[in-house]
Amino acid sequence: MTYDEYLAVGLPIATGVIEGACRHLVKDRLERTGMRWSASGASGDAQSEMSESIQRLG
């Protein structure tokens, strides 16, 4: 990432906060009561969630 360019146009770069939120959301999603996930199933679900979130922001 080019932090200096992002800061110059006023974009936030608080990656620690963003990473923490992502970790929390993924954990909440995958650890629902009774849920069991394979690695490929969890990865596919995470990609789907990310794609939907990006579309909402765009």
Residue 58: the pLDDT is 64
Amino acid at 37: W
Range of the domain at 18: 3-57
Q: Which residue has the tokens 């990432």?
A: 1
User: According to the model, what pLDDT value does residue 39 have?
Assistant: 76
pLDDT for 9 equals 92
Q: How many structural domains comprise the chain?
A: 1
Specify the pLDDT at position 54.
77
Q: Output phi, psi for 31, to 5 deg.
A: -110, 30
Give the torsion through C-alpha atoms of 38, 42, 47, 53, to 10 deg.
160
| Residues whose CB falls within 8 Å of the CB of residue 37, separated by 6 or more in sequence, listed in order | 30, 45
Give per-10-residue mean pLDDT for the chain (58 aa).
84 77 77 78 73 76
- Looking at residue 34, its amino acid is G
Q: Measure CA 43 to chain center.
A: 12
Q: What is the pLDDT of residue 13?
A: 79
